Structure formats: structure tokens, C-alpha cells
Amino acid sequence: MDPSKWIDVTSESFKYSLDHFVIPSHYQKDVSSILIPHGIIMDRIEKLAKLIVEDSKGPLVICCVLKGGHQFFADLVNEIKKCNTVLGQSVPLSLEFIKVRSYHNDVSTGTVSISLTDEECQDWKNKNLLIVEDIIDTGNTMVKLLHKLQEFQPASVRVASLLLKKTPKSNGYVPNYVGFAIPDEFVVGYALDYNEYFRDLDHICIISVSYILDFG
């Protein structure tokens, strides 16, 4: 792993107390700490957008991996649009959505289902794709998705993932753009869910063990 490509988040240095930030009251008991506050996420996305625009020579098809990637996708696209307007760059964007599912509760099921039809993807031939994902854990989902995308003969495919989990279960896959490398813990918030809960939490948080025992 190349630590210069991302912010290395360690359990010791980055666990913020819940008392120091605002958390919706319906989640107070369900998360144990804040790993990445929302403001830091937004500042990091501003930089990722700049890097992506600098590396882009022409139009970009930005593909959101649903559901977990939707918040990162929305904020990243906004920042790329700002590069086009404020900084005077010119990267025409088109936006696409891919639904992928591989997790049940906090456990990877090992099977990855990708909802993509040939009609949806036929326009991707010879285009430059940017896949926007919330988190790479084992890397199996992304490797499978990238393999599938080759069927549509894009000119290039790059991947931006907000989070990269430091886990011994990794298959070694590393995205082109990474926001933060995080400890091997189950995180929620900023559209990352646990069975559809916590998507409406702004900060990226560590789920509490008691929540998993009660509802897992």
C-alpha cells in the first residue's frame, strides 16, 4: 500500500468522542465513536476532485455504485463541477448508476450481484469511466465489477473509493483514488449502512458492539 495516496486513519489517533460532535439522537447509543468527521470528509473530497480533473483529458462518465456510494458520488460530482466553473477546467460529465450488493449485516456474503443491463452500458464503449465507490474491504466486489465492465469496451476505467479498509482479507486491489485508509472495523454513516440504517448520519462512525449483538 502507498500511504502517500491517502490519509492513514488509525484507531488510536482518530477516534473522536461522540460528545464533541452533533449526532442525531436516534443514533447516540448505536455508534461507539466518530472515525472521520463530516468536515474532514468534505475537505478530502475537494482534493480528490482536483486530482481527478488534473488526470482527465476529456469527457468523463462518472458511475455511482449504489447504494453506499451515493453521498460520496454527489459531493465528488459537486466538487468536480466547481473545478469546471471556478477553476476554468473543462471536463464534460455524464452520470450513471450501478447497483451492487455483497453484504448482509456486517458480513461479506462472498457473492456479488451486479445490476447492469447491456442497454444501459452500450454507450460506454470508448468512453473514460470513473467508478465511485464508498469502501473497498476485501476488494472482491470491485474486481468483479471491473471484470464485468470490460465487456462494454470502455477506453479507460478509473476507480475512486472514499475508504480503503486495512484488512488481512484484502485481495490486494487498490483504487486509483482513495480518501482514507481505515482500520479493520465495520463503519457506518455518510451513506454507509448496517441493514439500511445509518445512511442519514453525516460522520463516518464505528458501530457499537451492543448494536450488532442486539440487531445483527
What are the residue numbers of the active site? 137
Please state at what angle helix 70-85 crosses helix 38-55, rounded to 10 degrees.
60
71 binding ligand 5GP? (CB under 6 A): no
Q: State the nearest-atom distance from the C-beta of 137 to ligand 5GP, in Å.
A: 3
**Smallest distance from ligand 5GP to CB 140, Å:** 4
Q: Does 32 bind ligand 5GP (CB under 6 A)?
A: no
Q: Which of 27, 129, 139, 159 binds ligand 5GP (CB under 6 A)?
A: 139
Under the criterion CB under 6 A, does residue 138 sit at the interface with ligand 5GP?
A: yes
Residue among 83 and 192 whose Cβ is closer to ligand 5GP: 192
**Residue position matching grid coordinates 447491456:** 118
91 versus 202: smaller Cβ distance to ligand 5GP:
202
Segment 177 to 206, residues that bind ligand 5GP, using CB under 6 A: 186-188, 192-194
Instruction: Count CB atoms within 10 A of the CB of residue 126.
Output: 10
Options 77, 136, 145, 201; binder of ligand 5GP; rule CB under 6 A: 136
- Does residue number 103 form part of the binding site for ligand 5GP (CB under 6 A)? yes
Place of cell 471536463: 91
145-174: contacts with ligand 5GP (CB under 6 A)? 165
In angstroms, how far is the first alpha carbon of the chain from the final one? 32
Pair 16, 34: CB distance under 8 Å:
yes
CA distance 187 to 20: 18
How far apart are CB 58 and ligand 5GP at their closest, in Å? 28
Nearer to ligand 5GP, 49 or 164 (CB): 164
Does 134 participate in binding ligand 5GP (rule CB under 6 A)?
yes
Provide the binding-site residues for ligand 5GP, judged by CB under 6 A: 68, 102-103, 108, 133-141, 165, 186-188, 192-194
